[in-house]
Chains A and B, each alone.
Chain A
């Protein structure tokens, strides 16, 4: 449906680039409200536990959990230093929580509430007017009966304020479109509602029976139902997406000038702050290293999987993982010549292009509206020439307008979209863009990113098979004590092989080097080559070593493993005649190996963000419609430039915001489900259009001939609306397969 088009264009590029976003870093004043996203609050009992835990935090005046939104709102009695104690309190009872940015809240809630109250008013009016109309229709057929006049006046008194209040969303949207010299579906809707109300009022004053108040208010009621459901489903998906982003956010350990360390949500980091980043942590903000040196994994930024060595004065980007020792950095705002600024510029131009997409319903309206208005004018002129007098001719012309008013047509697309979004939501796919499904259904080429998209984006043990069980289990005892990604990969490989890892005391972690433990036989060490005393000739051959007294050192190699169903997903797409290609910022050999494993023949390695866009442009020039699937910061411009885009929920913030849909979980198959749903949605929208046109085909000639009474109009309009809605509901449970 034709929303004014601003809903989806939230400032996607700007927000994460400038860490200077509003919000107070200091202590909160009394009476302030904080909203938390709570990840695994899924039952009534959890809701109570969450509220109880929050109320126990000193200074909290009230706490209320919202189970549908998976959020909790906390009001403070007195000043409190940030959300950290709340998050910790929930963490202690096993709930992962994060503070939500204030600007993420209330985006759609207010609009939804207003729409619902308009819907209620329209429903009340429709029911009451219908009661009066039924009495008129079934009573005496004498139009001069004073009761007819009374009932018509009563209807007018109820209908006119209702239309003025409840019809506003349609009127303002139609006006917006007309101002830009466009036509959307809301133009014929508004025209029909306004004309029918005006004419009915005129006929009421004159005392005839050609009164359509019931039809115009019922029409309004049906349309508002469609619009409300549409809006609600979208707000729910967007809220869930905001929760995901919020929960992914990092804490920054900010070092104050007196040397004390304060924990802040990373979105509150401001340029100039000094931040300590421990080994294994993600870098919370963009900035430069001021102290220490380390290796960082920048795969989320560039797609490159090999770690990069950095030292003082090197630039680092939010989202990179610190693999080496602890470092201190200073946050900086995005500068003109950095990678981030370049990405922001590319995104801006890319998004402008997408803004020009015209939605299916509006495309239908473009030829439907002139047709309807021509037909109405033709009936008026026809009846005038036949000598019916201008008043009777006008009545018939308006009846034509009312009957053609695209009630079913206006519901045809949104009803299916609501069913589709709800279906996807149940399957963990969050559809964010209102026109996303329509664009997804048109794509015929899928371009994948490698790191984090085809792969899981976290290191896993590559040479596990070559390591004997005894050594692996001994190494895992040490590894289990660390949060370092490599250590966690070792621990995970061990728990996959043995089921569980024996816990041990006395494991000591030396940040940036490794772990050690003193056993009966001597000291065991797990860590870098230097830490384990491996000689320089062998040191470069592996990323992690394990040494024990009297045994050969064990080398661990890591790789970014492909998602389990990556190859299956690519095959399914290929069978559905999708062109599939791989576009990665990683090294040539790594990309070649991944492409071979998932059966992609067309691939490019070492792509810069602007080269990815050029690649998409080249495909577009061949007349293809591109679906981009990516997660990295370097994919963000391509995601914004593609015809449609999808990203996993582990993606960089900017990429998630730029995507039409976000899928959760370790599998890649949701992409196929999404495409299948999008295509079915389009098919069902066309079916619904057919129903709506079929109805017009029958009733327009009747209306032009002057046979349509208010009773016929009311029945015909309701039936066609109910028919398209019922058809749409089938999508929720349909079994779908992606075919050519």
Chain B
């Protein structure tokens, strides 16, 4: 039973990490252009520096 004392907080923490990651990705605009992102992954030479945020 004592394992619950750390298992549950650990599970919630990891889940919360995932949630925080998603919200961070959302806020930084990574879901703005899902179609375009698919193509950007295939570009062989990286876009110029000015292109990055």
Residues of chain A having any CB pair with chain B under 8 Å: 43-45, 47-48, 51, 55, 61-69, 109, 113, 116-117, 120-121, 124, 127-128, 131, 147, 150, 154, 158
Contacts and interface: CB of A to CB of B under 8 A. Distances in A.
Contact of A64 (B26, B35, B42, B51): B51
Contacts of B40: 44, 47
Given A44-B43, A47-B36, A64-B51, A116 B31 contact: yes
B4 A147 contact: yes
B34 A55 contact: no
Most buried by A among B34, B38, B51: B51
A357 to B, nearest CB: 33
Interface of B: 1, 4, 8, 11-12, 15-16, 18-19, 22-23, 26-27, 31-36, 38-40, 42-43, 47-48, 50-51, 53
B26 A116 contact: yes
Contacts of B47: 48, 51
Given A44-B43, A120-B22, A158-B12, 19 more contacts: A43-B39, A44-B40, A44-B42, A47-B36, A47-B40, A62-B50, A63-B51, A66-B32, A67-B33, A68-B32, A68-B34, A116-B26, A117-B27, A121-B19, A124-B18, A128-B12, A128-B15, A147-B4, A154-B8
B19 A120 contact: yes
A61 B50 contact: yes
Contacts of A48: 43, 47
A67 B41 CA distance: 13
Contacts of B51: 51, 55, 62-64
B45 to A, nearest CB: 9
B15 A127 contact: yes
A131 B19 CA distance: 16
Contact of B15 (A47, A63, A116, A124): A124
A66 B36 CA distance: 6
Contacts of A150: 4
A655 to B, nearest CB: 30
Q: Which of B1, B18, B19, B38 has the most CB of A within 10 A?
A: B19
A62 B53 CA distance: 8
25 contacts: A44-B38, A44-B40, A44-B42, A45-B39, A48-B47, A51-B47, A55-B48, A55-B51, A65-B36, A66-B33, A68-B32, A68-B33, A68-B34, A68-B35, A109-B32, A117-B23, A117-B27, A120-B19, A120-B23, A120-B26, A124-B15, A128-B11, A128-B15, A131-B11, A147-B1
Nearest to B5: A150
Nearest to B12: A128
Contacts of B33: 66-69
Nearest to B1: A147
Nearest to A65: B36
B31 A124 contact: no
Contacts of B12: 128, 158
B39 A55 contact: no
Nearest to A127: B15
Given A55-B48, A120-B23, A124-B15, A44 B39 contact: yes
A530 B34 CA distance: 58
A292 to B, nearest CB: 46
A117 B36 contact: no
A213 B6 CA distance: 23
A631 to B, nearest CB: 31
Given A62-B51, A68-B34, A147-B4, A47 B39 contact: yes
A131 B7 CA distance: 13
Contact of A68 (B26, B36, B53): B36
A68 B30 CA distance: 12
Contacts of B32: 66, 68-69, 109
Given A120-B19, A147-B1, A67 B36 contact: yes
A120 B43 CA distance: 30
Contacts of A113: 26-27, 31
A67 B31 contact: no
A48 to B, nearest CB: 7
Name the residue among A45, A55, A62, A131 with the largest chain B CB count within 10 angstroms: A62
B19 to A, nearest CB: 4
Contacts of A43: 39
A47 B31 CA distance: 17
Contacts of A55: 48, 50-51
Contacts of A147: 1, 4
A67 B48 contact: no
Contacts of A44: 36, 38-40, 42-43
Chain A to chain B: the 5 pairs with minimum beta-carbon distance, closest first: A44-B39, A67-B36, A66-B33, A68-B35, A124-B19
A109 B33 CA distance: 12
Contacts of B23: 117, 120
A127 B11 CA distance: 11
Contacts of B19: 120-121, 124
Nearest to B8: A154
A69 B53 CA distance: 19
Nearest to A146: B1
A55 B50 CA distance: 8
Contacts of B39: 43-45, 47, 67
Nearest to A41: B36
A116 B34 CA distance: 15
B46 to A, nearest CB: 11
A48 B19 CA distance: 32
A113 B47 CA distance: 26
A415 B53 CA distance: 36
Nearest to B32: A66
B25 to A, nearest CB: 10
A44 B34 CA distance: 12
Contacts of A66: 32-33, 36
Contact of B35 (A67, A154, A158): A67
Contacts of A121: 19
A116 B43 CA distance: 29
Given A44-B42, A48-B43, A55-B48, A124 B34 contact: no
